[in-house]
A and B are shown apart, each in its own frame.
Chain A
Amino acid sequence: MDTAYLIETIIKVVVILLIFSALAGIGTYFERKVLAFMQRRLGPMYVGPYGLLQVAADGIKLFTKEDIIPTNVVGPIFKIAPVITAATAFMAAAAIPFFPQFTVFGYTVHPIVADLNIGILYILGVMAVGLYGPLLGGMASANKFSLLSAARTAAVFISYEVVSGLAILAPIMMVGSLSLIDFNNYQAGGISDWIVWSQPVAFVLFWIAAFAETGRTPFHLIANDHEIIDGFGTEYSGMRWGLFFIGEYANMFFISFVIPLIFLGGYGDGSMLGALGLIAKVAFFFFFFLWTRAAWPDVRPDQLMWLCWKVLMPLAVINVVITGFVMMF
C-alpha cells in the first residue's frame, strides 16, 4: 500500500463525506419544496432567496442546540445510536462507484473508495446495520413512543431484509459478481442491456425494499409523527437528532445510487454522458422518494410484514428459481 493510494483514498473519503453531508441538507430543502408544491404550498420562503438558506439556518440551529441527555435513558447507548445511523450510511458509500473513472493531470481517479469483490453484500449489510440506530436509540430512550418505534424497527428489519436480499440474488446470478463496477460493465452496452428488462420483478421488489430500508413514506412507520410522535427521535434534540436525519437522507441518496447501478445501467460506458445519465437517474429516484411521500398513505406494521413475508418474498423466491432455470437451459 503506497502513500499515493493512501492519500487518494483519504481525499475520496473526505470528498464523499462533505458532498453527501451537504446533499443531505439540501435534500431536506428539496423535500420541503417538492412536498409543498404538490400540496399547493410554497414551502420555505423567508431565509434567503426562495428559502435557499433554510438549510444553513436549520444547520446552525441543530449545531447550537443544547445536547440533552434525559435522566432515565441508558446513557452510552443513547449517545451512540445516532452515530450508528449516520456512520453506517456513509460507510455503505465506500463500495458505490459514483462516477466512471476519469483522468486528472494524467492521474486516473476511480471514484469509488474501495472496489470490494463483495460490494453489494457489503452495501446491503452496512445499510442494514443503520437500522440499529433507531432500534438502540428507541430502546434506550426510556420513552414509550420510542420503545414502540424500536419494536417497529425490529419488525421492519426482519421483513425487508429478506426481500431485498432475495430480489438482488437473481441479478447477481446473471452478472456472476458482487462488485457494482462489474454490474455496471455488464450493462455498459446501452439501454437494451439494462438488467431491468430481464429482471423487472427483482427491480420492483428491490425498489420496494429500498423504501422499507430508508423508512420512507409507504413504510414510514418507524418514526410516524402522527402515530408515535417522532418514534425513536422523541427524546433526541440538537445534533444527535440531526445525525439521525443526515443518516436517513444520506441513505436515500446512496440507495438512489445503488438502484440504477444494479438495474438501470449505472453510468453506462463511462463517458461524460453516461455519468450525467447516472446523476439523472439518481435524481429521479430521490424525487420518487419525495413524490410518494406526498401521494401515498402509510401502512401499518402488520401490513408491512404481511406484504414482505406473504407477497414479496414468495415473488422473489419464484423469480430466483425462474432465473436459475432460464440460465441453466
Chain B
Amino acid sequence: MKMEQFNDRNVADNGYFLVDIEDYPTDGWGKFKRVVKRTFRAELFVGLWVVLREMIKFDIHTVQYPEEKLPIGPRYRAVHEMKRLWESDAERCIGCGLCEKICISDCIRMDTKIDENSRKEVTEYTINLGRCIFCGYCAEVCPELAITHGGEYEQASEQREHFVDYAYMLTPLDKMKAGTQMEFEGFGAITPHEDERVKKTPLAY
C-alpha cells in the first residue's frame, strides 16, 4: 500500500469537495415539495439496489476465526519468546537482568547463577502474563536480542496469574535445527541495512 496518500497533508487539491446540501425548508410548501421530491426520486430503491448488489457479488469478508486466522504483522507484540543463537543453537540470554529491571509492570522474575564455565546461567525465568501489558520494553532493552515478542496471541487461562516460563518461551531445538526460528522485527531488533549505515568509530578519539 502506498503511504503518500496518508502522508500528504495538503487536502486542498486532493479530491476533497464541499457536499452540496440544500437548506432545510422552513415553510409548509417547501416541506411538501421535499416530501414529493424524495418520494418520486425513489431514494429508497437506491439502498435496496446497493444491498442486493453486494448479495449478488457475494464478496464475503468473514474470517471464520478458529479455522482461519488473519496474518499478523512481524512487529506484533504477543507472548514473549526466547531466541537461540543461529551459530551454535545456544541460548542467547546472558542473564543480565535488564528485562526484569525495566519491566514497568513487574511481571518478569528471574534467578541466575554462575555455571561451571564461569558463565551466567538462567535458572528461573517466568513472566506473569496477567500483569504483562505487552509494552515491548523487555525486547527493546535486551542487548542480545534474546527476549522478543512472538505472534502467539491466544492465551486463555483459568486464572489471572497466568505464567509462562523459560522452557515454554525458548525456541525448541528441532525448530532451530530446521532453521525456522523467526527474528522479531519490532522494538530492539536490528533495522534492515544496518551494516551499510553504521559508522566506524575513529581510532584517534
Contact = CB atoms under 8 A, between A and B. Distances in A.
A329 to B, nearest CB: 29
Contact of A41 (B47, B48, B61): B61
Interface residues of B, number: 15
A255 B60 CA distance: 32
B29 to A, nearest CB: 15
Contact of B54 (A39, A292, A296, A311): A39
A296 B44 CA distance: 7
A23 B59 CA distance: 28
A42 B68 CA distance: 13
B64 interface: yes
Contacts of B59: 40
Contact of B55 (A38, A45, A292): A38
B54 A40 contact: yes
B64 A45 contact: yes
A292 B48 CA distance: 7
Contacts, number: 38
Interface residues of A, number: 15
Interface string B108-150: 0000000000000000000000000000000000000000000
A34 interface: yes
B35 interface: yes
A28 B77 CA distance: 41
B51 A291 contact: yes
A294 interface: yes
A311 to B, nearest CB: 7
Contacts of A291: 48, 51-52
B19 interface: no
A311 B51 CA distance: 27
The 10 closest A-B pairs by CB, nearest first: A295-B47, A38-B51, A42-B62, A294-B51, A37-B55, A295-B51, A40-B61, A295-B48, A38-B55, A41-B62
7 contacts: A37-B55, A38-B55, A40-B61, A291-B48, A292-B48, A295-B48, A296-B44
